Structure 1
């Protein structure tokens, strides 16, 4: 039995680890390489120092040995990424079970400097079964799988076999697409109106990214976002989005249209140390009011226990910029975190709004969200309104703000200006059904 590591220096580094995998490959074609990336690890070093970070990594390495056995082949691929080799034939389901085993064991916190740290992981796995596939190729597949896991909003796990070459090839193509789209000015912001549900006037807009593809026309940017997240280009894309959104806000102000706009912020942007400086510079450059800007965070990010995220949000609020929680109810809502989080508004996820007519539980969720927002003194916004009946139910429930295809999809900037000139949606709804403003 191997004793616990007393220092990170006794862990095989990347090059030693590759040699170890080579030796395993000489003996058997059947094994799986698992890469585990420690999420939010930078928070430890930011809050304390590198020694605290090393202490956490050492604890993780030793606990991994405890979980999977001391004979496990374990190495440190890079700063906060470990490599594990499991010898034998393993299916995707079996490797996923190992991933779940890992996650469960790390629900018990680690401690450094008398402070608890809950370790969570992104995990990428590549299974080796062909002698013709080199170790270098297998590591590339595992790294590509890890990038996919980081980009997966629902599960931080991705698996590939060594006979699949689509992962890295597709990823490189996406990276090339993203680089070209930004260089050739193929990206554009569309605007979906936010509406006062009582009088149907436009009160603001949400900025949404669109891609003017040279061959396929206007596309939703899902693949671009995937590439940006996978290749650490999300901050660059995020900077582009914020910059263009504030430029458009300035143009609206010059036209006499004074209403707030909201911008979706990705998780990785909140770990960007240049975000605050960039946002402050753009506010000054375009001479816009900070309180006319709202940054929308997904529920999981808004409720993150990350020290760095909390610090960034505090600085953003101090600037006067508003912060809202998007897609409320879609994920796992920790109500104790919501209680302590300062928000301008909470947006009810569209899945609850779109089935309001048929599911009384959805209405109860909407009403409960309204009560929470009243207690927090923040606004509640309903997303995904598509029918006049949904609008009536929301009005009766006292929901005052919303957006959805009933009023307008996201439209280009000039069309949004035309909607603002119209002022409200009375004429649009008149021919859809009889509707009386309360």
Structure 2
């Protein structure tokens, strides 16, 4: 639209005014539209619009003031030039016109020659105002939609304007110059600029500021000076670029690069086709290939030939389908050796899911595999012999049972215990004992097939597993072969050692349906082999289990007997053969069971030793003997009582201090108490036993060697240990009258004892002939049924009285 063709809406109820306005304005090139009153004007404007409205004030109906206000309320009338014609020239009318939204006013009567010029000027001025308004709105929208925070402040640092991006950055609402000014948040919270404005009045710097919620933000600030119109004072425009995320991203990149460069794992990056783009230093360390040698190649560079084509096919299929693969893979070093690695491969995809790169991480797991092998070996094999241990044995037995069940066959299990191994270990030392176990393991492996298993069960116990046994005699044949092989001498550190082996044989399915039953029954059979004299084998029989049940029942009863004071101490007289006087007594334990009757000591004493109850029983017997000695002393009976001690008591419980306490509590003279020890006690731990015996002898307690001649009789230990006398076992006394050999042995023992200045007690005297012979040979003391069996306390007192021993 040009000024000449502008459309003018003339609104006046006076036809003459409308006519004159039309003629004047059309002559000047304007398009004129007429309306007679305010309502018509609104309708006409809504229908055709207008570039300018020439509006009379005083009209019937809707007057000019109201019409002007209504026009301004329409979207098209917001910036419409409205010129009001009025004959009212008072100040109030003029103010009302402007308040209603009038652009200008013309006083009536109208000076028609200048009307067109005045309207044309108003049109041009309005167009300029609209242009400015459009530009201002454009700039506002532009600034508001810019993602960069912008703020404008005056010379005093007060905020004149800011955009929503700035408000979001600082989490505050800014005000413009039309509202009350307040300090600019950015200026208040930004540190002082590090550099002054340059010659152009600009500067750029990087700093930190508090953002939304007080969170620190990293920003780049662009500032420029400007002079607001009408002030002459320079202000400052600030454009703030929030680079927090960029800095974080850069930090992540730096961290990623640091990890890439310093990672212990080798890292390889390839493109989508598998061509290597980058490798880290660890890759070079592990493979020997430098980045220059690896980049541009494919991972086939490291192919070890340890995997077949199917392995790589599966790898790539998994990687394609899932985007990742993890597993063990062997690589080849640049110099040739191969090594195992644990590798993880990840596909890197773009937003559309297309694969861009592959990233692979791998580490050398050679040491880990060695450690795993070591752990597996330690968990499943005996470290000394290298044989399967108990854990692996159970697996092998289970496997053999399953195989035999599936095939409908037998399998055999042999439980072995070495005979006399403890003697070798104690006398020659643990080093020799370990060497012996290793040689035994080698010989056992020579006695079986490759499909059989030889396992070390514990200590000197071994187990053989024979998966396929056609007949029971086949397992027994293996047992015989083992016994024969183990019986051969062992050469150990210059010494020749001979041992034996006791073997228990159990067969699936006849002797058990699972490994626990087979092992238990083979173990029972092995103990039967030991009971049969050792160095032999026994096949499991159901009766063996019955015997074990009987033993368990006996053990339970023995514990109850100890608890309920059912045990008793009997005393067997010891006589002086020269004078016939009572020389002492041996305390012997008896067990009158409420249901079983009198239980022989040969049944419950070994059981007590096996279960450890012998220590409690021995302590009780010693306490009871000391109590009896005190009672005898009060009636004038003062003869020593001999108490049998086991190795369990001497080495694991009965201290010298405990013996002193007993003597003190019962006010006993030490010479009234004697201890009887077997030869095996002296040999079990010579240093400890010697120290204990020497301390006992210093108390004045006599020490006797019981069952002399049945063990490892030696002049050496008789000379070394502080022994007072020996007791010849009844086995030699029983037949010495009729058997020259037994008589010779008795004579030799007496001669040896007398040469060492030791007294001798002969056990088991049953008749006059034995007594006469012993007197003639010079034996000092004797005991046996010929004189009296072991009797209760009261009966012994009567015997002592008959022999005149009371009151002496």
Counterpart for residue 431 of structure 1: none
- Closer, same or farther: CA 283–154 of 1 in aligned 2, 3 Å: farther
**Aligned partner of residue 575 in structure 2, secondary structure:** strand
Deviation of 1:401 (Å): 0.6
The runs of 5 or more residues in structure 1 that have no matched partner are: 426-438
Measure, in 1, the Cα distance between the counterparts of 2:442 and 2:567.
49
Point out the more displaced range, 392-401 or 129-138: 129-138
What is the alpha-carbon distance in structure 2 between the residues aligned to residue 367 and residue 205 of structure 1? Answer: 24
Out of 677, 690, 694, the residue aligned to residue 317 of structure 1 is 694
2:504 pairs with 1:125 = yes
Corresponding position of 1:19: 395
Q: Shift of residue 167 of structure 1?
A: 3.6
User: Which residue of structure 1 aligns with residue 422 of structure 2?
Assistant: 39
Any conservation in 2 of the 1:191–1:412 contact (CA below 8 Å)?
yes
Which protein, 1 or 2, shows the higher relative CO under an 8 Å CA cutoff with sep ≥ 6? 1
For residues 56 and 391 of structure 1, do their structure 2 counterparts lie closer, same or farther at Cα, with a shift above 3 Å needed?
Answer: closer
Task: Pick the aligned partner of 2:602 from 210, 217, 222.
Answer: 222
Counterpart position of 1:102: 486
Mapped contact 2:587–2:643 kept (Cα < 8 A): yes
Among 540, 558, 582, which residue is 1:161 paired with? Answer: 540
Residue 258 in structure 1 maps to residue 641 in structure 2: no
Kept after mapping to 2: 8 A contact 1:129/1:162: no
2:801 counterpart of 1:421:
yes
Cα offset, 1:15, TM superposition:
2.1
1:39 alignment partner, SS class: helix
Task: State the Cα deviation string for residues 369-395 of structure 1 (Å, max 9, x = none).
Answer: 111111111111111112222222211
CA deviation after TM superposition for structure 1 residue 229, in Å: 3.1
Q: Which residue is 1:59 aligned to?
A: 435
Does the CA contact (< 8 Å) of 1:209 and 1:220 recur in 2? no
How far apart, in 2, do the equivalents of 1:241 and 1:122 lie? Answer: 36
Q: Higher mean Cα deviation, 133-142 or 185-194?
A: 133-142
Q: Give the Cα–Cα distance (whole angstroms) in 2 for the partners of residues 69 and 290 of structure 1.
A: 57
Single out whichever of 198-207 and 310-319 deviates more from structure 2.
310-319
TM-superposed CA distance for 1:96, in Å, is: 6.6
8 Å Cα contact 2:572/2:791 also seen in 1: yes
How many Å apart are 1:82 and its aligned residue?
A: 3.1
- 1:101 CA displacement: 4.5
Contact 2:415-2:503 within 8 A present in 1 as well = yes
In structure 2, the residue matched to 1:84 is: 463
SS class of match (1:75): strand
Matching residue of 1:434: none
Deviations 1:194-248 (CA, angstroms, capped at 9, x unpaired): 1001111111111111111112433322221232234333333333333323332
Task: Check the 8 A contact 2:500/2:535 in 1, yes or no.
Answer: yes
Q: CA deviation at 1:186?
A: 1.5
Q: Tell me, which stretches of 5 or more residues in structure 2 are unaligned?
A: 1-380, 405-409
Quote the Cα distance in structure 2 between the aligned partners of 1:357 and 1:40.
35
The answer to whether residue 766 in structure 2 is matched with residue 390 in structure 1 is no
What whole-Å deviation, never above 9, does each CA across 1:287-313 have from its counterpart, x for those lacking one?
Answer: 4344433222334x1562x3x254124
Contact 1:270/1:312 (CA < 8 Å) preserved in 2? yes
Q: How does 1:9-408 map to 2 (within 5 A)?
A: 10-28=386-404, 29-36=410-417, 39=422, 58-69=434-445, 73-78=453-458, 80-85=459-464, 87=466, 88=469, 89=472, 95=479, 98-99=482-483, 101-102=485-486, 104-105=488-489, 108-109=491-492, 123=502, 125-130=504-509, 132-144=512-524, 152=531, 155=534, 159-161=538-540, 163-164=542-543, 165-272=545-652, 276=656, 278-299=658-679, 301-302=680-681, 304=683, 306=684, 308-320=685-697, 321-331=701-711, 333-408=713-788
> Considering only aligned residues, what root-mean-square deviation do their CA atoms show, in Å?
3.7
Q: What is the alpha-carbon distance in structure 1 between the residues aligned to residue 744 and residue 592 of structure 2?
A: 40
Name the residue aligned to 2:127: none
Task: Quote the Cα distance in structure 1 between the aligned partners of 2:759 and 2:461.
Answer: 43
Between stretches 92-101 and 380-389, larger displacement belongs to 92-101
The alpha-carbon deviation at position 192 of structure 1 amounts to 0.5
Say if 1:39 and 1:121, in contact at 8 Å, map to a contact too. Answer: no
1: CA distance, partners of 2:654 / 2:763: 31
Closer/same/farther in 2, CA of residues 340 and 99 from structure 1, 3 Å limit = farther
Question: CA contact under 8 A between 1:145 and 1:167: conserved in structure 2?
Answer: no
Change beyond 3 A, Cα 1:238–1:147? farther
Asked if the contact 1:207–1:262 (Cα under 8 Å) also holds between the matched residues in 2, the reply is yes
Q: 1:190 to 1:105 in 2, by over 3 A?
A: same
Cα 1:157–1:242 change in 2 (3 A) is farther
Quote the Cα distance in structure 2 between the aligned partners of 1:110 and 1:274.
37
Change (3 A) 1:389 1:286: same
Q: Which has more radius of gyration?
A: 2
- Check conservation: 1:213, 1:219, Cα contact below 8 A: yes
Distance change (3 Å), C-alpha of 1:384 and 1:11: same
The 3 A distance-change label for structure 1 pair 268 and 145 is farther
Aligned residues: 404
1:56–1:322 CA distance, 2 compared to 1 (3 A): same
